[in-house]
Chains A and B, each alone.
Chain A
C-alpha cells in the first residue's frame, strides 16, 4: 500500500523523485474555526455549530480522504470504470469540504452591517444597490429546492459580481466558473434545530453575522487574479 502511494507521489514530481519517496500523500483536515461554537448566537446556535462542524463537515473531510485514496488506487491501476464511478463521491465530499471551509470564514461574531470600499462599489454597480443585492441573494437562496447553497460569486471573465445557487455540495467554481465570495448554506442541517421549516427566518438573520472583511478579501484576490 505504502509503496504504491510513494510511487504515485514520485510520478507526480519526477524531478524530485528521491524526495517524493519520503513524502506521503497529504490528507485533508478540518480547518480551524476562528470562534467558539457559541460565538454566532443568537443567529446560529452553539448546538448547530457544533454538529455542523464536528459531524457534517468532519464527515465530508473523512469521506473525501477515503474517496481520494480509492481514486489514487484506481488511477494507478488504470481502472477507468472505478475512477469514473468515484466521481460523484469526489464532487459531493470535496465540494462539501470546500463549501464549508469558505462558509466558516464568511461568518463572524462581529459581522453584519454592510461592506465598504471597492466591494460596496462593485455591489452597487452590478446590482443597483446593496438592498437589491441582499434581496436577490436572499430570495434566490430561500427558493432552493432541497439541499444546496446560495452564492455571491465573481465572474473572472467579465469582472462582474453574480448571485447564483448550487445544488447539494456542488462546488461553485468548478460548476459555474464563478469564484466564491459569500455562501449561505441552506441544507436543513444548517438551521433546522433552531428555525425548523422556516428557512426564510434563518436567511434573514444570517445577514447579521456576515464577515464583510473576509468577503472583501476574497473579492480583492479574485480581481487581482483576473488582472494577471
Chain B
C-alpha cells in the first residue's frame, strides 16, 4: 500500500479511537475477546445536582464494573469450554438476542451479566449534564407524539411504570423490530426485571431508566419518585436520537448484507 494511504488509514483509526464522543454502548454490536468497562460521557459529578457524584461513582465503578468482570469471566469460560460454539464468539447484542441458544450451564450467568453490562451502557448513554438538550426533539420526539398523543401523555405513562415496578428492573422506550427498510418501526414502553433487556425480545431500546435501588438509594432512600424526577431532568434528547440512529444504521447494514 502507498505510504500516504497507510498514513491516512492510521490517522482515521486514531481519530475514531480518540473521538471522545464514543457512546458507552459502542462496541456491543461487534465481537471482542474482552470488553472494557465503558467510559462515562461525563465526569462523576457531571450529573449533579440531579444524580449525585457518590451514586454515579459507585454505580459505575461498583455495579457496572462487577457486571463487566463477571461477564468477561463467563464468556471466557464458555469459549474455552466449547471452541466450536459460534454464539460464544458473537457480539453481546447477538448473545442477548439468542439467550435460549446459550448452553444451560452458562445461560443465567450470561443473561444477568451481559444484560447488566449492556443495560447500564444504555442507561449512561441517554443522560448528560448538557442543559441544551432537555427538550424532546428529532424523530424520537415526533414518533412519541404519534404513538402516545403527546409528550406529556408519554411521560406520564413512562413515569407510572417506573414508579410501580416491583423489585429491581428497568423501564424502556424501544422501537419494535424493523420490518421495512424505509418506515421507522413504532415505539413501545416496556419494563424488565433484574438485568433482563428488551433486546432479548427483539426490540431496539432508545431510552431507559434504571430503578434498581442502587440507582437512587444514597440520595433519595425509599423515594423512587424523586429519582424518576431527577432522571427526566437529565435525559439528553440528542443522545436519544443518536441511539435511535445507531440502531437504524445497524438495520441498514443487515439489509445490505441480505
Residue numbers of A with Cβ under 8 A of B are: 51, 55-56, 59, 88, 92, 145-148, 167-169, 187-189, 192-193, 196-198
Closest to A148 in B: B167
Contacts A146-B194, A193-B218, A197-B66; A168 near B167 (Cβ below 8 A) = yes
A145-B194 contact given A51-B222, A88-B166, A188-B217, CB 8 Å threshold: yes
Closest B residue to A96 by beta carbon equals: B166
Instruction: Evaluate contact between B222 and A192: CB separation under 8 angstroms.
Output: no
Could you tell me the distance between the alpha carbons of A192 and B168 in the complex, rounded to whole angstroms? Answer: 14
Please list 11 pairs of residues, one from A and one from B, whose beta carbons are closer than 8 Å in the complex, sorted by A's number. A51-B221, A51-B222, A55-B221, A55-B222, A146-B212, A147-B213, A168-B166, A192-B213, A196-B218, A197-B58, A197-B62
New A-B pairs, 20, CB < 8 Å, besides A167-B167, A169-B166, A188-B168: A51-B222, A55-B222, A59-B222, A88-B166, A145-B195, A146-B167, A146-B168, A146-B195, A147-B167, A169-B167, A188-B213, A188-B217, A189-B222, A192-B214, A193-B217, A193-B221, A196-B58, A197-B62, A197-B63, A197-B214
**A145 and chain B: residue at smallest CB distance:** B194
Q: What sequence of 0s and 1s flags, for each residue 35-56 of chain B, a beta carbon within 8 Å of any chain A beta carbon? A: 0000000000000000000000
- With a 10 A CB-CB cut-off, give which of A51, A56, A146 has the most chain B CB atoms: A146
Instruction: Write out the residue numbers on chain A whose beta carbons fall within 8 Å of the beta carbon of B191.
Output: none
Question: Closest approach, in angstroms, between the C-beta of B99 and any C-beta of chain A?
Answer: 14
Beta-carbon contact of B218 and A147 below 8 Å: no
Q: A190 to chain B: closest CB distance in Å?
A: 9
Q: Mark B151-186, 1 if CB is under 8 A from A, else 0.
A: 000000000000000111100000000000000000
Q: Are B218 and A192 in contact (CB under 8 A)?
A: yes
Return chain A residues, CB-CB under 8 Å to B217: 188-189, 192-193
Q: How large is the interface on B (under 10, 10 to 19, 20 to 34, 35 or more residues)?
A: 10 to 19
- In order of increasing CB-CB distance, the 9 nearest A-B pairs are A146-B168, A188-B213, A197-B62, A146-B194, A168-B167, A147-B167, A55-B222, A192-B217, A147-B168
Q: Which of A51, A59, A146, A196 contacts B62 (CB 8 A)?
A: A196
Please, what's the 1-or-0 string for B5-23, where 1 marks a CB less than 8 Å from any CB in chain A? Answer: 0000000000000000000
Q: Which residue of A lies closest to B108 (CB)?
A: A145
Quick check: is B200 within 8 A (CB to CB) of the other chain? no
Residues of B within 8 A of A192 (CB): 213-214, 217-218
CB distance from A53 to the nearest CB of B (A): 11
Interface residues of B in 215-250 (CB under 8 A from A): 217-218, 221-222
Bound together, the chains give a CA A92 to CA B218 distance in angstroms of 24
Q: Which residue of A lies closest to B115 (CB)?
A: A145
Asked whether A187 and B213 contact (CB < 8 A) given A56-B222, A147-B168, A167-B167, the answer is yes
Q: List chain B residues, Cβ under 8 A from A88.
A: 166
Distance of A145 Cα from B112 Cα, bound (Å):
8
Query: B193: CB under 8 A from chain A?
Result: yes
User: Which residues of B sit under 8 angstroms from A92, Cβ to Cβ?
Assistant: 166
Q: How far is the CA of A167 from the CA of B112 in the complex (A)?
A: 15
A146: B residues at CB distance < 8 A: 167-169, 193-195, 212
Bound Cα distance from A114 to B218, whole angstroms: 34
Task: Tell me which of A55, A167, A189 contacts B213 (CB under 8 A).
Answer: A189
**How far is B183's CA from A21's CA once the two chains are assembled, in angstroms?**
64
Residues of B within 8 A of A168 (CB): 166-167
How many angstroms between the C-alpha atoms of A168 and B212 in the bound complex?
12
Nearest CB in chain A: distance from B181 CB, A: 38
Report the separation of the CA atoms of residues A51 and B241 in the bound assembly, to the nearest whole angstrom.
39
A75 to B44, CA, bound (A): 52
